[in-house]
A = this chain, B = another copy of it.
Amino acid sequence: MTQELYERHRETLEQALAAIESREYWSAYSESPKAYDHEAAKAAFDSYVSGEFPLDQPGADGTVEAAPSPYGVSLGTRYQRSSVEALVEAAGAAKAGWRDAGPKARAGVCLEILQRLNERSGELALAVMHTTGQPFVMALQAGGPHAQDRGLEAVAYAYAEMSRHASKARWEKPAGRDNVVALDKTYHVVPRGLGLLIGCTTFPTWNGYPGLFASLATGNPVIVKPHHACVLPLALTVQVAREVLAEAGYDSNVVTLAVGRSEDRLSTTLATRPEVKVIDFTGSTANGEWLEENARQAQVYTEKAGVNSVVIDSTDSFSGMCRNLALSLSLYSGQMCTTPQNLLVPRDGIETDESHKSFEEVAQGIAGAIGKLLGDPERAVEITGAIVNEGVLEVAESAASLGEVVLEARSLEHPQFPDAVVRTPVLVRLEAVDEEVYGREHFGPVAFLVATGSTDESFEIFRRTGLEHGAITAAVYSTSEDVLAATERAAMDVGVALSCNLTGGVFVNQSAAFSDFHATGANPAANACLTDAAFVAGRFRIVQSRRPVTA
């Protein structure tokens, strides 16, 4: 059965392996909403809303009710509350069988899980939308096929690393005239231990699948601990994974879901269990740093907060730049780790295709583009989605007091979900000296136009904030090859992915699986990259045996 799954998905795996090498465009799963059955998805979603989520796993100890949707819809889903002891024990018992399955069989199982998740992308879209506040199309694409692509990419990386050397070898060393010393050697891939995925509240699947599938493919059973307000997308994922595992003849406890009440402190308890050897985390800097400091028995991969900059030096498409930035700032109300925060603009203005623009004209250009983009509330909410929680709302509402407001936030009424909290971005002008303000992350629909003395000072700010506070993305607009080259060198120093002169249909927020490396691990925003070799190679070890060749 398991070899059969590998064979069934072999071509997909081979394409993924080619794609991570060429870095050219490739995707395994359609991002078109038309590819998925929304009626069936809606029916499935409705069935979860007020029922007990079907997941038969060990150690259930009462139930926990889901948090309400950011769209104001009541989600009454009840999840089994888990006993840490039972989960760790069950995962430990599943470990040897999963290890012994070997890289090929595990890759086959992972790809079958991903394919079935893909088939349920409609359900996942509604689950992501109603736990994160994402607009529907984003929830479908980022929560479904794009997340599945990221998971597949991690499987491909893991598979490549596990199979980069022979699993058996005959070693024959010349030993004097006509003689050899011969040994037969076997190399086993051995998982590090148990994996723990700590999910986030904004992109539970997109940020979660790389770690989940990297750990699974390398042989580590994974305990999935969703954010308490964002359980359903990962609960569905675990359900699918357990179903495939059981069908393929493995212990379904290779993947389990850990849901608790806040007083259970599941994340910290699980993260410091000696059996847990790999942890994947996306969330706040404080929680990420806590894990790095305290989960010392484990290899910890974190994505935390950052301060993303855009160096605006000059442009040959002023309107294109303004439109592009307007969408980048508005998309999902800036609740992306990739959203720009600090737009660094010389206070003397910039050269553009529409002649010189003063700082104020640049500010008004961007503000105007946002106004136009979000002018129609019905269309606007399909870009902004809803504010995910009170914390983000507070960040958004306090921003206006931090400087000179260039564009005020507006509250929009969502035509379908009247209780949803919707805010358009606020743009605030700051000066280069206000580093205390713009040097911190303001997660949400908040952007600062920082007036600098020159592009050189913009570089200094970009470097300093990136190195001290981290950054996941950076962008530059310039018509000068020298400035672009200097920005590229600054980005290498900061260790941040750079987008240059985006004026069309690609946005700095977007990161494409198989081609874009998401985060780098080289600055404080993240200690890992999704996905590179370092993200997978530490999840397993090689244990060899050797014996003399007998005639």
Would you call B538 and A538 a contact (CB within 8 A)?
A: yes
Q: Which B residues lie within 8 Å of A503 (CB)?
A: 548
With A23-B185, A506-B548: A537-B533 Cβ-Cβ less than 8 Å: yes
- Contact residue among B192, B488, B516, B533 (Cβ-Cβ distance under 8 Å from A161): B533
Tell me, yes or no, whether A522 is within 8 Å of chain B by CB: yes
Question: Within A287-339, which residues are at the interface with B (CB < 8 Å)?
Answer: 292-293, 296
CA distance A166 to B542 in the complex (A): 27
Closest to A505 in B: B181
Would you call B499 and A169 a contact (CB within 8 A)?
A: no
With A504-B181, A533-B537, A534-B538: A545-B497 Cβ-Cβ less than 8 Å: yes
CA distance A452 to B523 in the complex (A): 53
Would you call B541 and A529 a contact (CB within 8 A)?
A: yes
Tell me, yes or no, whether A446 is within 8 Å of chain B by CB: no
Tell me, yes or no, whether A73 is within 8 Å of chain B by CB: no
Q: Which B residues lie within 8 Å of A502 (CB)?
A: 547-548
CA distance A174 to B170 in the complex (A): 48
Q: Which B residues lie within 8 Å of A500 (CB)?
A: 545-548
Tell me, yes or no, whether A99 is within 8 Å of chain B by CB: yes
- Contact residue among B296, B488, B541 (Cβ-Cβ distance under 8 Å from A521): B541
With A20-B165, A169-B515: A499-B546 Cβ-Cβ less than 8 Å: yes
Give how many A residues have a beta carbon under 8 Å from the other chain's beta carbons.
67
Tell me, yes or no, whether A34 is within 8 Å of chain B by CB: no
Would you call A545 and B172 a contact (CB within 8 A)?
A: no
Tell me, yes or no, whether A49 is within 8 Å of chain B by CB: no
- Contact residue among B166, B188, B506 (Cβ-Cβ distance under 8 Å from A22): B166
CA distance A22 to B496 in the complex (A): 36
CA distance A93 to B296 in the complex (A): 33
Would you call B491 and A545 a contact (CB within 8 A)?
A: yes
Closest to A533 in B: B537
With A537-B533, A547-B500: A24-B506 Cβ-Cβ less than 8 Å: no
Would you call A171 and B546 a contact (CB within 8 A)?
A: no
Would you call B169 and A22 a contact (CB within 8 A)?
A: yes
- Contact residue among B170, B293, B520, B548 (Cβ-Cβ distance under 8 Å from A543): B520
Question: Within A331-366, which residues are at the interface with B (CB < 8 Å)?
Answer: none
Tell me, yes or no, whether A417 is within 8 Å of chain B by CB: no
Q: Which B residues lie within 8 Å of A160 (CB)?
A: 164
Tell me, yes or no, whether A48 is within 8 Å of chain B by CB: no
Tell me, yes or no, whether A397 is within 8 Å of chain B by CB: no
A91 vs chain B, min Cβ distance (A): 16
Tell me, yes or no, whether A268 is within 8 Å of chain B by CB: no
Closest to A499 in B: B546
A549 vs chain B, min Cβ distance (A): 10
Would you call A169 and B537 a contact (CB within 8 A)?
A: no
Would you call B515 and A543 a contact (CB within 8 A)?
A: no
Q: List the interface of chain A (C-beta within 8 A of B).
A: 20-25, 99, 160-161, 164-166, 169-175, 181, 183, 185-188, 190, 192, 292-293, 296, 484, 488, 491-492, 495-506, 512, 515-517, 520-522, 529, 532-534, 537-538, 541-548
A-B contact sample (14 more), CB < 8 A, given A497-B545, A537-B537: A22-B166, A23-B165, A25-B172, A25-B173, A99-B492, A169-B515, A183-B506, A190-B522, A491-B543, A496-B543, A501-B548, A517-B542, A521-B541, A529-B541
> Which 7 residue pairs of A and B lie closest in terms of their CB atoms, listed nearest first?
A500-B547, A23-B169, A522-B541, A534-B537, A533-B537, A498-B545, A537-B537
